[in-house]
Amino acid sequence: MKHQLDNAIKIIKENGYKYTKKREEILLFLIEENRYVGAIEVFDFMNKQYQGISYDTIYRNLRDFTKMDLLEETELMGEKKFRFHCDVSSNHDHSHHHHHFICTSCGWTKEINLCPMDFFSEQLPDCKIESHRFEILGKCQKCLKK
């Protein structure tokens, strides 16, 4: 966890942003949660420690972290959700290609080390695929038991 945080702070500085304790706390929260969370969850957590912090400040930091590729972003039930990027490394190389199962109830996430793009590439031989996004949505075992 410390390694992930240290690398994230380094990337923040490399992108011309200042280190702040609040940014560190946001990142730590996301690292510890290890799931997709909404901005309101991050706001609620931060507001307990920093009374009066604005929702806009939280959301702006989440967007900035996403642009720096520190966070992954998805949309669940019409709401943007964020999670700490699985592959933040010291050289910021996201070479481990994978996808996720995401619980639509709690946001729990599991890596899926399989990509269906080979199939789609075969189906589109005269096209150039520039990007893709693949997520499996459902209920995790814990939420199914509730």
Please report, in range form, the residues annotated as the binding site for Zn(2+). Answer: 103, 106, 140, 143
Per the annotation, where are the binding residues?
97, 103, 106, 132, 140, 143
Per the annotation, where are the binding residues for Fe cation?
97, 132
> Could you tell me if 36 and 83 are in contact, meaning their C-beta atoms sit under 8 angstroms apart?
yes
Measure Cα distances from 108 to 81, 83, 93, 96, 100 in Å: 11, 10, 24, 20, 10
